[in-house]
Structure 1
C-alpha cells in the first residue's frame, strides 16, 4: 500500500515538474497567414516556422514573424510617353511574400515595411516608366489593356527575384498634362465635325444620284413604250377593247354603220 502511494506521489511530482518546465520554457505562436523566421544568436536559420505553437530555447533562439497574406499597395508614378508627353499613373498592386522564402527575404531585405519602401515602390515606378515609354500618348489610351499586361509581366519578373509574388495589378487612373487633355478634346471635336460634314456631303450626293437615276429610268420607260407602239399593236389593242357594237355615224342623209374593216382602219390611225 505504501509502494502504491509512493508511486502516485512520484508520478504527480514528475507531471508537476514537466508542467513547470513547459510553462517556463519560452514558446512562440505563429498565427494564421504568418510564417516565423527562426534565428539562433541573431543568425537566420533555414528552418521556417509554420502556423501554430513552437517551443524555442531561451536566449539562443528568437523568432521574427512575417505576413504572407495578400497586401495592397497604392502607388502614383510619373512617366513620359514615346512622343514625350507627360503621363501620370495611379497603380494598385496586390502582392504577397512567397511563404517558403520568408527567411531569405528577411535576411536580405527586412520586414514588410522594408519590402514596400526598398523594393516594391521603386520597382513599380521603374516598370511604369519603361512600359509607358514604348507607347505614344494616344496608344496608351487606345491600348490600355496591352499596357496593363506589359506592366504586369515586367513587374512580376522583377519582384520574383526579391521573393515577392504579384497577385494583381490595376492601372486605376491614367491622365496627362492639362494642355494635352485640351488638345485631345479639340481634336476629337474637329474629327466629329469633319465626319458630320462628310456624312452630309455623301447624303446629298446619294440623293442627287437617286434623282438622276429616276429621271433616266422614266425616260427609258417612255422610249421603250413609244418604240413598242407599232400599228399592229395599236390595232390589236383596239380589237381587245371593242365591245362588239359598230359605231354609228350620224349624217344629214341617214344613220350609217361602219363595217369591221373600216373600224380597224379607224382604230389603227
Structure 2
C-alpha cells in the first residue's frame, strides 16, 4: 500500500499571516483609539492644528475628541507667569541706571491660537523680555536719577502702562510689575554720599548758629534782669535800711564772740556800743 505524505507548510504560513494581520489591525485600532482624544490640563488651553493649519478656536480644560493623525493639540499655559530681568538705561540727567524688574503676565485664553500662529511657544523670549527692556528704557529717560528713587511708584505705573500696551498687541495681559532694585554707578553713589554729608554739615552749622543766637539772647535777657534788679534795689535803699544792715552785722559779730577779750600787746580793747544795740 502506498503511503501518502501531506505537506502542512502552506497551511502554517496562512495561519501565521492571519495572526500578524490581526495583530497589526489591533495595534492600529489601539493607536487610533489613543489618538482620538486629548486632555487639556487645568490652567491651559489647547491650540488645534489640522494638517499643520491653526484652527480659529481653542480647547478648554478637559477631555476632547479629535481626528486621529489629522488633528494635533498644542497646550499653552494661561496661568500667571513671571518674567524677571535686569535692564540698563540712561536717566534724564544721563546717569547709567540698572533696573531689576519683575513682571507678572498671562496669555489671554480666548486668543491663544492667534498667539501661537503669530509667535509660537517662545513668546517670552521673543516678545515679553524685549518689551520689558524697551518700556524700562523709555520711562527711565523721562526722569532724573534722583526722581527715579523719590517717584518710584509713579515710575512703576508708567512702565506698567507702556508695557501693558505692548503685550496687548500680542494677545497677552499684564497683571503686575515690581521694580525690585535701582542701581547707579559708583561715581553717582559717591556724589550722593558727598551731598548728604554736605547737607548734614550745613544742618549742623545752622543748628549751632541757632544755639549761639539763643544763648546770646539768654545772656542779654539775664543781664537786663540783673540790671533791673540792681535798679530796683537802689530805689529801695533808705537811711533806715542802712542802719538796719549795720545792726544786723553787729548782732552777727556778738553771736560769734566767745566772751574772751583778745590778747594784744598794744592798742585798745575792742568796744561794742551796747546803747546803740538797744536803740
Same fold (TM over 0.5): yes
Alignment gaps of 5+ in structure 2:
1-28, 242-273
Q: Which residue pairs with 1:123 in the alignment?
A: 131
Q: Which residue pairs with 1:77 in the alignment?
A: 87
TM-score by length of 2: 0.70
Distance 1:24-1:164 versus aligned 2 partners, 3 A rule: closer
Q: Which residue pairs with 1:100 in the alignment?
A: 110
Residue 47, structure 1, aligned to residue 57, structure 2: yes
Distance 1:221-1:158 versus aligned 2 partners, 3 A rule: farther
Q: Tell me, what secondary structure is at the counterpart of 2:130?
A: helix
CA distance in 2, matches of 1:64, 1:148: 35
Q: Which residue pairs with 1:58 in the alignment?
A: 68
Q: Which residue pairs with 1:210 in the alignment?
A: 218
**1:22 Cα deviation after fit:** 8.3
| Root-mean-square deviation over aligned CA pairs | 2.9
Name the count of aligned residue pairs. Answer: 220
- Deviation by residue 1:78-111 (Cα, 9 ceiling, x = unmatched): 1111111111111111111111111111111111
Q: Tell me, what secondary structure is at the counterpart of 2:68?
A: coil
Q: Tell me, what secondary structure is at the counterpart of 1:191?
A: helix
Q: Which residue pairs with 1:178 in the alignment?
A: 186
**1:21 Cα deviation after fit:** 10
- Deviation by residue 1:177-204 (Cα, 9 ceiling, x = unmatched): 1111111112211221221122112111
Task: Name the larger-Rg structure.
Answer: 2
CA distance in 2, matches of 1:216, 1:33: 86
Q: Tell me, what secondary structure is at the counterpart of 1:127?
A: helix
**1:23 Cα deviation after fit:** 3.0
Alignment gaps of 5+ in structure 1:
1-18, 235-248, 258-269
Q: Tell me, what secondary structure is at the counterpart of 1:202?
A: helix
CA distance in 2, matches of 1:28, 1:39: 13
